[in-house]
Amino acid sequence: MFVGNPVFPISFEIEKVAGLIEATLKKKNWQSFDRGEVKLVLQPVYIFYYDAVFEEGGKPSGKGERGRLALNAETAELNKGLAETMPPDNKLVKELPDDYPLIVRKPLFSAAEAEKIALLKTSALIGADRNNVVLTGFKVVYYPMWLAFVTVKEKTYELEISAVTGEIFGEEQVPEREKGFVEITKETLHELKEPGAWVKYSKEIADLAGDKIEGKGSSEKGPGVLGEIQSTGLPSFLHEPWLLPSIVLVVILIMLVFFWP
């Protein structure tokens, strides 16, 4: 497909988009979601050079500056990073694969209007009088973005992915899902299959047991029925009610680790 204006070359192919979206949603604990058709959106930007001379005390200082900037043709925002990373003209493309679902956006203001906006914003950005700033080489270039819609819990969200860098935008709109008990249990069991995890959990249980036996974190027990039972020398789990369930839980975990599929 032929595109009139030059386009940044696509480095992040459409085949990678699905995997990126899936990984992004899984980080937010979404295992089930619907993804719509991915489309390629060409966003127009004005690329231009600027030359400026600075003044001191109302007189030319002899200091000058030259650079390149990009003006978003939809939002009128300046973007220095995009202009600096634009490849040479011979690396830009004017043809795209025919099988890409394509949306070509048009500039919302003319080149003449863009020059006036760019002059105003550039002079403010670099701190120079706009009468001492000249803009040259104005041209429209398209920046490619992948557009995808995902639906989770019957609500649809729009995600944009740079077809140049693979950076994703809009993921903050998607809420994070709280994990259920079964998921947390599975993750814990998976972690316990690693030998190092047992050291960690064993130490935590031992520390907890030590604190309980020494009476840390609890009020002192005075004389009475409970004090009499503790002085009889009965097994610890009879006068430490928390201990028996803890031991049973550890045994269950061990069994699940070794027999869980």
Tens-place pLDDT, residues 23-78:
998 888 887 788 888 999 999 999 999 999 998 876 767 789 999 999 999 999 99
- How many Cα atoms sit within 13 Å of 179 on the Cβ side? 12
Q: Which residues pair with 79 in a beta bridge?
A: 70
Q: Which of 156, 122, 158 is nearest to 41 (CA)?
A: 158
Q: What is the pLDDT of residue 252?
A: 67
Least confident of 25-34, 75-84, 164-173, 175-184: 175-184
Average pLDDT along the chain: 79
Rounded distance, CA 113 to CA 111, Å? 5
CB-based burial of residue 114 (10 Å sphere; 0-12 exposed, 13-18 middle, 19+ buried)? buried
**In this structure, is the dihedral angle defined by the CA atoms of residues 179, 181, 183 and 187, taken in order, positive or negative?**
positive
3-state helix, strand, coil in the chain (%, to 5): 40, 30, 30
Kindly tell me if the per-residue pLDDT of 154 is higher than 90: no
Q: What is the pLDDT of residue 237?
A: 46
Q: What is the pLDDT of residue 97?
A: 86
Q: What is the pLDDT of residue 63?
A: 86
Kindly tell me if the per-residue pLDDT of 228 is higher than 50: no
Query: Where does the pLDDT of residue 2 fall: very low under 50, low under 70, confident under 90, or very high at 90 and above?
Result: confident
Query: What average pLDDT does range 114-129 have in this prediction?
Result: 95
Q: What is the pLDDT of residue 225?
A: 38
Spell out the domain ranges in the chain.
2-173, 181-259
Question: In sequence order, which residues have a C-beta less than 8 Å from that of residue 76 and are 6 or more positions away?
Answer: 109, 117, 121
Query: What average pLDDT does range 190-215 have in this prediction?
Result: 59
What's the whole-model pTM score? 0.67
